Amino acid sequence: MEKEIKDTAVLLLHCPDKQGIIATVTEFINVNKGNIIYLDQHTDTVQKVFFMRVEWELEEFLIPKEKVQEYFSTLIAKKYNMDFQIYFHAQKPRMALFVSKSAHCMYDLLAHYEAGDWNVEIPLIISNHPELEKVAEKFNIPYYYFPITKENKAEQEAKELQLLRENGITFCVLARYMQIISPEMIKAYPNKIINIHHSFLPAFVGAKPYHAAFERGVKIIGATSHYVTEELDAGPIIKQDVARISHKDSIENLINKGQDLEKVVLSRAVEKHIERKILVYKNKTIVFG
Amino acid sequence: MEKEIKDTAVLLLHCPDKQGIIATVTEFINVNKGNIIYLDQHTDTVQKVFFMRVEWELEEFLIPKEKVQEYFSTLIAKKYNMDFQIYFHAQKPRMALFVSKSAHCMYDLLAHYEAGDWNVEIPLIISNHPELEKVAEKFNIPYYYFPITKENKAEQEAKELQLLRENGITFCVLARYMQIISPEMIKAYPNKIINIHHSFLPAFVGAKPYHAAFERGVKIIGATSHYVTEELDAGPIIKQDVARISHKDSIENLINKGQDLEKVVLSRAVEKHIERKILVYKNKTIVFG
Amino acid sequence: MEKEIKDTAVLLLHCPDKQGIIATVTEFINVNKGNIIYLDQHTDTVQKVFFMRVEWELEEFLIPKEKVQEYFSTLIAKKYNMDFQIYFHAQKPRMALFVSKSAHCMYDLLAHYEAGDWNVEIPLIISNHPELEKVAEKFNIPYYYFPITKENKAEQEAKELQLLRENGITFCVLARYMQIISPEMIKAYPNKIINIHHSFLPAFVGAKPYHAAFERGVKIIGATSHYVTEELDAGPIIKQDVARISHKDSIENLINKGQDLEKVVLSRAVEKHIERKILVYKNKTIVFG
Amino acid sequence: MEKEIKDTAVLLLHCPDKQGIIATVTEFINVNKGNIIYLDQHTDTVQKVFFMRVEWELEEFLIPKEKVQEYFSTLIAKKYNMDFQIYFHAQKPRMALFVSKSAHCMYDLLAHYEAGDWNVEIPLIISNHPELEKVAEKFNIPYYYFPITKENKAEQEAKELQLLRENGITFCVLARYMQIISPEMIKAYPNKIINIHHSFLPAFVGAKPYHAAFERGVKIIGATSHYVTEELDAGPIIKQDVARISHKDSIENLINKGQDLEKVVLSRAVEKHIERKILVYKNKTIVFG
């Protein structure tokens, strides 16, 4: 069930590492009577960058919600040259679900959604195939079918983008969506499009990785969830997990086990995004606990 | 190889959760020109207790090492009713290794020690059996043999305690040491004696757990490392890990896999203790990353 | 997608370990022109019991399906004092799904079912609560609600048993079904009722295990799937899996991670049962690869 | 301790998949009064190849040890066009350990050896560096130092090969041996040289994989043990394992965790090889349980 919590503010920031940042930020919240309920930070000692996530209760906070951004920017962010975002728990992220033909990730995400596990809205599902509309109907979520060909890709994605904007979508999840996302959409949702794909130890390139892995007799297969960037499947990694296999596993087993992994890994990545616990710097994520 | 680092101070503390603790503590370090290189904290929202670990470089720190304890206590700890310890990296923890007859954990610990992986001294090894003296000799570490019987247990442990004191031992590691530690020694080293034992899913009590696990056909076995308290094997858990087994595993395999687990889990727990990254509250550990 | 395969026979057997069993059994299949596509066996050297699973294609098999049982019994089983069952792939197992209020396992099982991952029929869902009927409707599976009280338990279970018989149910899956199964039903479905429950390292008894685990600060939680026997949660274990946790996990997180585990572990156990790859002897399973 | 077992014969074979192979082979052993204590087989349904491992007690076996090879070849192998080897438990494999400068794998292997966990002899250690001679001395194993330069590589390896032959070495283990093995030595020990290396999800090529993995922010690192073939690090995989990491892990932590993995994975691969449970076909292993 949805957990009852008072509204909170979440501050995500990174900046050049200096002394006193934590003291300054927590002081800013404390003097304004915000009750800090979460604080985690990380210093990348190689890049000399400081990362922080703070969450505080707004009940007695002196600065009104619509002013927090401005005050923090003026009083603190400028001084430390911070890159930051402020979110409010009461403002739920709005997620668009992209699917093609395979439903395993879609079901797992929607079951979490319907169970109220996550603080999110899913106003719509987009697909380049008609098959999964019947699943969308089970969950009473509008299903938009955009058949895509080389010829109409640009124009169809433009329509998709407009649909996302009209519905105030804040992030997209590619649940085994088998279409390359165009640079336009990536620019519109930078580090806001989550993808899932299989991974291997070692990696196998080419069209049929499971077959290659099978022929090499790998003992472990994996799945990687990441933000989409222009370089295919090379964006910042959010979550990964693996499963053990053996010579007894047929290619079909590999694919089934791979799908179970994809399902769990994608759901965990989406959960972290919804909780606003992910910071991205260069091509790397900081995922807070 | 031993890594070159400047001397640092490590502060571990817990206290009733209040606003402003992080700001106050980091401020204390900053104003005295300490360069914070590590900060992690945790709030137990159920117990309403705040836990924190801070580490800072001493190079330009204004307060002399021998005064840090006093100053922090006077200026800060009292106010927040803190329970705290301060350590200096240059003061290596001194570890006593307790063994009986099986050598797998002993070898793994000593290999890490000799490789210089850890900031620790191991001045002596204590055993209730003579067999492993030959291993101690390989590593040129004095081996003290204290045969223990019901009759002489108290008196032998008294001698062991004196030996530990004479050698300035700060913590003990029971590397498959098959003797119950008496309350006297536990009092002398509260949350400073690390033990390792096998665990099962579900648990099996009694003399032959591996046989019970085998007969029940468990699919997973585990190992648990914890601090020793008066209640046998019920102290605060530091590390755990598991291995998969199947009906193909003989009891002997179970025991071998269990030993591999014990080895790795104990070494990781010892490493965390050496790094002063463990806080204990009631019967639970906070193990910082 | 449902994989296209010719009909096959699956033979599961165990008997006192003797020489020549494999030779005899495979010879029986070969001379009758059965093409063996799977053979796995195991010898419990402690109990001196031999276990075997053989699967062969029926296309050119000389013995008619309805006679295989009789012939094998007469020509082979008697001689080796075998306990055996023969199944045909074309005769799908028929599964009854039992649920109460939580839907995570139910969704995962039904998603696999609808995706055609498994060679099974699910003609009905039984519950002691009305809430999940809406989920059953999504998948168009009849949902039977049997409210159970101390007073009516015996009589309600009798109705359930009759319903199972009328629908030719061959096994039952308790997907977080929160009712103790009575001895009558267990007798009606010996080693045919699959349950899932959480497990801990070490185990915690009592009403609130997650709270106990949280207070002890365990680092690993698990889930165990087993066949139901009269001794509560002590039946033969089919599958187990674990997840790592830390002091950062709230009790709510523990429960969520526990549910993700339950989901995956139960589905894998059900899959093995459907594939007829599980042999039970005494209180232990042999789960073939 | 070394387990007391009667001498046994181990037969490893593969051949084109046909009906009746298992029946024929087990019949051959049974009629000659061999008591089968292990049988496992696998059919690669893609390649249509059959793989089998059988082990039987020799106590009452009618065929004398020195004749088993000949009889089996004549009576059975020819007919099924089998590729097979026969080993006897009493004839211990003889292992040469190759090391360079890092000792973690070396210690783990030698601790297992000294504990008598494995049925193996380690008559010598070979290195291209002098540093680890002190470790070899701890275990009283001769240490041969062969400094290798571009100029003398061929000639030094020739000396190594002669040394291996003189000592009746049956297989080699590269415990972080930092030298590419020449084709001559690989030809002399086909699928008899075991190597260990780190692996990543996804893979990173180039000189500093840990740094690349760190910069990409991978969440999992792995280790892979394989037989050495002429294509670098692309030989048949024997064992793999992984460890979870996070943004909190420094490059040094990554390397330490990687070393713990390498240690365990290499030891498990070596154990399987010693137990003669590995079959290699094309570039893939069948590793029996």
Secondary structure (H, E, C), C53-114: EEEEECCCCCCCHHHHHHHHHHHHHHHHCCEEEEEECCCCCEEEEEECCCCHHHHHHHHHHH
- Nearest residue of chain C to residue D33 (CA atoms): C19
* A217–chain D Cβ distance below 8 A for any pair: yes
Q: Does the beta-carbon distance from D115 to B138 stay under 8 Å?
A: no
Query: Amino acid letter at B196?
Result: I
* B40–chain A Cβ distance below 8 A for any pair: yes
DSSP for B177-237, written as a single string? --SPPPHHHHHHSTT-EEEEEEEESS---SS-HHHHHHHHT-SEEEEEEEE--SSTT-S-E
* Of B256, B250, B266, B133, the residue nearest D1 (C-alpha): B256
Q: Does the beta-carbon distance from B37 to A43 stay under 8 Å?
A: yes
- Out of C26, C37, C45, the one facing D23 most closely (by C-beta) is C26
Backbone angles phi, psi at B165, to 5 degrees: -65, -45
With beta carbons less than 8 A apart as the criterion, state whether C271 and C115 touch: no
> pLDDT confidence of D4, banded at 50, 70, 90?
low
Closest chain A C-alpha to B19 CA, distance in angstroms = 7
* B131–chain D Cβ distance below 8 A for any pair: no
Q: Does the beta-carbon distance from B108 to D111 stay under 8 Å?
A: yes
Chains within contact range of chain C (3+ C-beta pairs < 8 Å): A, B, D
Q: Report angle CA D198, D202, D207 to the nearest 5 degrees.
A: 50
Instruction: Please report, in angstroms and rounded to a whole number, the separation of the first and last CA atoms in chain B.
Output: 22
Q: Which residue has the tokens 């420094």?
A: D250
* D248–chain A Cβ distance below 8 A for any pair: yes
Say how far apart CA C202 and CA C25 lie, in whole Å. 43
Average pLDDT of span A29-47: 88
* D246–chain B Cβ distance below 8 A for any pair: yes
Is D6 or B263 the better-scoring residue by pLDDT? Answer: B263
pLDDT for position C232: 81
Closest chain B C-alpha to A286 CA, distance in angstroms = 14
**Catalytic-role residue among D17, D233, D249, D260:** D233
Say how far apart CA A57 and CA A35 lie, in whole Å. 5
Per CB-CB distance under 8 Å, the chain B contacts of D111 are: 103-104, 107-108, 111
- Nearest residue of chain A to residue D218 (CA atoms): A237
* DSSP code of residue A76: I
Say how far apart CA A168 and CA A253 lie, in whole Å. 40
Give Cβ neighbours of residue B31 (< 8 Å, ≥ 6 apart). none
**What would the pLDDT profile of D233-268 be if each residue is shown by its tens digit?**
889 999 999 988 999 888 888 888 899 899 999 999
- Collapsed DSSP state (helix, strand, coil) of residue D289: coil
With beta carbons less than 8 A apart as the criterion, state whether C105 and C262 touch: yes
Size of interface B-C (CB pairs under 8 A): 97
* Of C145, C141, C177, the residue nearest C160 (C-alpha): C145
> pLDDT confidence of D178, banded at 50, 70, 90?
very high
Flag whether pLDDT at A240 surpasses 60. yes
pLDDT for position C205: 61
Give the Å distances, CA to CA, from C125 to B92, B141, C58. 63, 67, 33
pLDDT for position C83: 97
pLDDT-above-70 percentage for chain A: 96
Backbone angles phi, psi at C9, to 5 degrees: -110, 140
Catalytic residue list contains D44: no
* D19–chain C Cβ distance below 8 A for any pair: yes
Q: Does the beta-carbon distance from C26 to D30 stay under 8 Å?
A: no
Closest chain C C-alpha to B284 CA, distance in angstroms = 5
pLDDT along chain B (289 residues), means of 10: 70 92 91 89 88 95 96 96 97 98 96 93 98 96 97 95 98 96 96 92 70 86 94 90 89 87 95 97 92
Give the Å distances, CA to CA, from D53 to A248, D26, D41, D50. 14, 11, 6, 11
Q: Does the beta-carbon distance from B284 to C42 stay under 8 Å?
A: no
Q: Does the beta-carbon distance from C219 to B237 stay under 8 Å?
A: yes
Average pLDDT of span D4-13: 88
Per CB-CB distance under 8 Å, the chain A contacts of D277 are: none
Q: Does the beta-carbon distance from C19 to D37 stay under 8 Å?
A: no
Flag whether pLDDT at A117 surpasses 50. yes
Q: Does the beta-carbon distance from B289 to D111 stay under 8 Å?
A: no
* A111–chain C Cβ distance below 8 A for any pair: yes
* A239–chain D Cβ distance below 8 A for any pair: yes
**Catalytic-role residue among C233, C241, C249, C260:** C233
Q: Which residue has the tokens 């949902």?
A: C143
Quick one: tokens of D37?
């204590």
- Nearest residue of chain B to residue C40 (CA atoms): B248
* C43–chain B Cβ distance below 8 A for any pair: no
Interface test with B, best of C219, C232, C246 (most B CBs within 10 A): C219
Q: Which residue has the tokens 């728990």?
A: A89
- Collapsed DSSP state (helix, strand, coil) of residue A235: coil
Flag whether pLDDT at D219 surpasses 60. yes
**Exposure b/e, B6-44, CB count within 10 A at least 16 = b:** eebbbbbbbbebebbbbbbbbbbbbeeebbbebbbbbbb
* Of C288, B213, D235, the residue nearest A246 (C-alpha): C288
With beta carbons less than 8 A apart as the criterion, state whether C95 and C120 touch: yes
DSSP for B99-110, written as a single string? E-S--HHHHHHH
Is D206 exposed, middle or buried, given 0-12, 13-18 or 19+ CB atoms closer than 10 A? exposed
* B282–chain C Cβ distance below 8 A for any pair: yes
Quick one: tokens of B122?
């191991």
- Nearest residue of chain B to residue D118 (CA atoms): B256
pLDDT for position C20: 83
Q: Does the beta-carbon distance from A224 to D202 stay under 8 Å?
A: yes
* C104–chain A Cβ distance below 8 A for any pair: yes
pLDDT for position C194: 98
Query: Amino acid letter at D69?
Result: Q
Quick one: tokens of C250?
């709230």
Q: Does the beta-carbon distance from A19 to B39 stay under 8 Å?
A: no
- Out of B42, B233, B240, the one facing C201 most closely (by C-beta) is B240
> Cα-atom radius of gyration of chain C, to the nearest Å?
21
- Collapsed DSSP state (helix, strand, coil) of residue C261: helix
pLDDT for position B23: 87
Q: Does the beta-carbon distance from D248 to B117 stay under 8 Å?
A: no
**What would the pLDDT profile of D95-149 be if each residue is shown by its tens digit?**
999 999 999 999 999 999 998 999 999 999 999 999 999 999 999 999 999 999 9
Per CB-CB distance under 8 Å, the chain A contacts of C264 are: 260, 264
* A132–chain C Cβ distance below 8 A for any pair: no
- Nearest residue of chain B to residue D247 (CA atoms): B289
- Out of B114, B117, B248, the one facing D256 most closely (by C-beta) is B117
With beta carbons less than 8 A apart as the criterion, state whether C152 and C133 touch: no
pLDDT digits (tens), chain C, 289 positions: 344 568 999 999 999 998 889 889 999 999 999 988 888 889 888 889 999 999 999 999 999 999 999 999 999 999 999 999 999 999 999 999 999 999 999 999 999 999 899 999 999 999 999 999 999 999 999 999 999 999 999 999 999 999 999 999 999 999 999 999 999 999 999 999 999 998 876 666 666 778 888 888 889 999 999 999 998 888 999 999 998 889 988 888 888 889 989 999 999 999 999 999 999 999 999 999 8
* D32–chain C Cβ distance below 8 A for any pair: no
How many CA atoms, within 13 angstroms, populate the side-chain half-sphere of residue B2?
11
Closest chain C C-alpha to A67 CA, distance in angstroms = 31
Flag whether pLDDT at D79 surpasses 60. yes
Give the Å distances, CA to CA, from D221 to D62, D175, D197, D202, D211. 51, 19, 11, 9, 12
Closest chain C C-alpha to D262 CA, distance in angstroms = 21
Per CB-CB distance under 8 Å, the chain B contacts of D3 are: 252
